[in-house]
């Protein structure tokens, strides 16, 4: 017998064990901004997680009586639906969101969040968004912003295939990192069969995101950019603001300067990734690390990663400075820009190191 939880705000993440500390930061930010007047059911889908990690994550909601944290093993689902499919090295966990309507029949609506998000508002506000009869709600993807400024070259390499499969206006392409899902409507309209057919049919450039865009084209309510703010790296590149004036992106400079986003989405490089960070993530990195250091668990891990990031940033900056002497013309100009970005990023990290008394460096 299925127990109905229609009056609960359901939010779900999908991770593997290695990402446990980072989904913890997202959960911590969500809990701190929740409204005790609501009941929240948080879920983590995983394909194998140790009891120790589960206990650490569960402790994050201990002081919030209106929030529960639940874990759902996806090992059986992976074996049934995915083992015969060549994923070309892509993590299985990114596809689990395709089957939420079947996996959670007790819910009529659910919010899906990527691990690399931070909440700056109560998720209940997003949950209660009027979808105006659409099956999902999502924010337009950053690739559309780049298209408005730079033209065709910025678009998905699979554009022709996407158009053949029904996406007639690529400017309606959404990001799948924050989703409001009408699970009841998805079940009633048989959309999971469409999702499964697409999953088995092609290997798409943007994986699950392309699949979701095809399946829900024409049935997606495009949400304000505050609910999936993914634009800081682009704003550092001197964009052509006039090209997207009057669009849904018109206020992204203001939102960034005021830090008034409701969900911050750290696309591309992550603050905790020592090897592939982008120095343009200065504001995002500062906000994320502050949230991480505020958590009651995983502190040894975060401090170790932070110190590694600090040293890697110093080395990156020194490398660009040494290469300046042999750089000429356009290359020299670009290197100066990189040095400025890396210096700003290093200043941010050194400020946090001093503030949080991180002396292991």
- 179-203 pLDDT, tens digit each: 999 999 999 999 999 998 988 886 7
Count the helices and strands in the chain (H runs, E runs): 15, 9
Q: Provide φ and ψ at 229, rounded to 5°.
A: -80, 110
Asked if pLDDT for residue 294 goes beyond 60, the answer is yes
Asked if pLDDT for residue 7 goes beyond 90, the answer is no
Q: Which helix (H) or strand (E) holds 40?
A: strand 40-46
In contact, 58 and 45? CB cutoff 8 Å? no
- 136-159 pLDDT, tens digit each: 999 998 877 777 666 554 455 666
pLDDT score, position 89: 63
Of the pLDDT bands very low, low, confident and very high (cuts 50, 70, 90), residue 237 is low
Q: Average of pLDDT values for 248-260?
A: 89
DSSP state of 163: H
Asked if pLDDT for residue 121 goes beyond 90, the answer is yes
Write down how long the chain is.
Answer: 361
| Residue 243 CB-density burial (10 A; 0-12 exposed, 13-18 middle, 19+ buried) | middle
Give the number of C-alpha atoms closer than 13 A to the C-alpha of residue 144, restricted to the C-beta side.
Answer: 18
Asked if pLDDT for residue 170 goes beyond 90, the answer is no
CA–CA distance, 105 with 101 (Å, rounded to integer): 6
b/e code 39-64 from CB counts within 10 Å (16+ = b): bbbbbbbbbebeeebbebbbebbeeb
Helix (H, G, I), strand (E, B) or coil at 5: coil
> In terms of DSSP bridges, do strands 136-138 and 117-119 run parallel, antiparallel, or are they unpaired?
unpaired
In contact, 158 and 205? CB cutoff 8 Å? yes
**What is the separation, in whole angstroms, between the first and last Cα of the chain?**
56
pLDDT score, position 95: 87
Query: What percent of the chain has a predicted confidence (pLDDT) above 90?
Result: 54
Nearest alpha carbon to residue 9 among 116, 139, 119 = 119
- 122-131 pLDDT, tens digit each: 999 999 999 9
Q: Average of pLDDT values for 258-286?
A: 82
Instruction: Kindly report the average pLDDT of the chain as a whole number.
Output: 87
In contact, 94 and 207? CB cutoff 8 Å? yes
In contact, 103 and 71? CB cutoff 8 Å? no
pLDDT score, position 1: 36
What is the pTM assigned to this prediction? Answer: 0.91
What is the chain's alpha carbon radius of gyration, rounded to the nearest angstrom?
A: 21
């Amino acid at each position: 017998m299925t127990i109905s939880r229609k009056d609960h705000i359901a939010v779900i993440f999908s991770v593997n064990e290695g990402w446990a500390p980072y989904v913890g930061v997202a959960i911590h930010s969500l809990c701190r901004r929740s409204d005790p007047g609501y009941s929240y059911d948080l879920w983590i889908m995983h394909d194998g997680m140790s009891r120790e990690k589960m206990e650490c994550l569960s402790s994050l909601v201990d002081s919030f009586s209106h929030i529960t944290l639940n874990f759902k093993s996806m090992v059986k689902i992976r074996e049934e639906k995915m083992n015969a499919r060549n994923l070309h090295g892509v993590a299985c966990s990114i596809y689990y969101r395709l089957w939420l309507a079947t996996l959670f029949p007790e819910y009529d609506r659910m919010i899906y969040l990527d691990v690399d998000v931070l909440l700056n508002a109560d998720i209940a506000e997003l949950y209660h968004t009027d979808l105006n009869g659409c099956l999902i709600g999502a924010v337009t993807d950053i690739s559309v912003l780049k298209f408005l400024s730079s033209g065709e070259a910025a678009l998905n390499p699979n554009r022709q295939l996407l158009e053949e499969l029904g996406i007639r206006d690529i400017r309606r392409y959404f990001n799948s990192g924050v989703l409001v899902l009408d699970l009841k409507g998805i079940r009633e309209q048989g959309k999971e069969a469409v999702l499964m057919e697409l999953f088995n049919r092609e290997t798409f450039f943007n994986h699950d995101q392309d699949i979701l865009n095809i399946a829900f084209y024409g049935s997606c309510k495009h949400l304000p950019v505050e609910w999936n703010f993914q634009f800081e790296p682009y704003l550092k590149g001197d964009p052509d603001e006039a090209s997207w004036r009057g669009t849904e992106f018109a206020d992204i400079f203001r939102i960034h300067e005021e830090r008034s986003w409701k969900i911050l989405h750290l696309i591309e490089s992550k603050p905790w990734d020592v090897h592939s960070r982008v120095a343009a993530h200065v504001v995002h990195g500062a906000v994320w690390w502050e949230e991480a250091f505020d958590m009651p668990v995983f502190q040894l891990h975060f401090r170790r990663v932070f110190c590694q990031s600090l040293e890697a940033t110093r080395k990156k900056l020194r490398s660009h400075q040494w290469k300046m002497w042999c750089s000429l013309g356009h290359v020299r100009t670009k290197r100066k820009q990189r040095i400025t970005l890396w210096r700003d990023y290093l200043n941010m990290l050194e400020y946090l190191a001093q503030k949080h008394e991180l002396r292991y460096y």
